[in-house]
Structure 1
């Protein structure tokens, strides 16, 4: 937590701070993902006057995310830069009414962990691949096709065509 009253006391005042994030795992509806490394969160907070603050900063994190095809862990780098304006005249209730997503401001304190959590969530990748040509896993036996092959039948036919497939398989036996 960073006490913002130090900056709010005088117009034009600027402080710089570095904070380590306080969580080792990113937890969301998608699951739990270990954070393998992170730099300190570098913050600059400037009083713009009239109880408005300029908040900017940067953090770099590495998170283990499963590959979307083969489920092997991929070390994914997040380089997060942010630049936000905070109106400190609003109280928590007014911020919610204004649909302002400042859940990282509690009174006159800045919760750095909440700020970084929100930024990770916004920057979360849609799809993570271990390599561009990842072959994925066999849908029948679960073998990682990047590491070995399997002898499962891979033709995925429309189930409505099963009868026709059965007819052709009977002719093959003759």
Structure 2
């Protein structure tokens, strides 16, 4: 996959440089137990000249992931629509001092920029931390594991404030 931009070529181009690629991102979700599967990421970007030796890259990343509901562990198909907007500045001389640096600009020392690491970073940062199968998901019973969306169980899950737990049996009749 070629997601490489050349500062000089973009500055001399008649229009934006278009990128339409597919990126395998399965490597970046390894270790996430809440993600069952992830589809390849569709990358649609446009690179446009901005200021002197500066390029704006804008577009979107789209894909999907099969994730587990954070309450009941049901598999949920999650659509990913990730906006992408970055500005790259080619540095022909040494890097500017920290006070001269603009936080919204990525400074590049080479004449070319490989966008793949930046696309991967956007993907990882925009993955949801958790998903729900539905807004009012009831989750699992803490005692027996029954999916409470599918039915109730016979467990006593009355929540007692731990500060009053010692008083729990105070008013129950005790046989002598």
Q: TM-score range by the shorter chain?
A: 0.7 to 0.9
Greater CA deviation, 8-17 or 143-152? 8-17
Structure 1 regions of 5+ residues with no counterpart?
none
- Distance (whole Å) between structure 2 residues aligned to residue 26 and residue 162 of structure 1: 45
CA change 1:11–1:158 in 2 (3 A) is same
Structural mapping, 1:121-132, within 5 Å? 121-125=124-128, 127-132=130-135
Q: 1:120 aligns with which of 114, 117, 123?
A: 123
Q: Give the structure-1-normalised TM-score.
A: 0.75
2:114 pairs with one of 86, 110, 118: 110
Structure 2 portions without partners, runs of 5+: none
Q: Residue 8 in 1 paired to residue 37 in 2?
A: no
Give the CA deviation at 1:153.
Answer: 0.7
What is the total number of aligned residue pairs between the two structures? 169
* Residue 142 (structure 1) aligns with: 145
Alpha-carbon RMSD across the aligned residues, in angstroms, is 3.4
| CA deviation map 1:25-71 (0-9, x unaligned) | 54388656355434531121122352100101222111122212112
Task: Specify the alignment match of 2:48 in structure 1.
Answer: 46
Higher helix share: 1
Closer/same/farther in 2, CA of residues 167 and 33 from structure 1, 3 Å limit = same
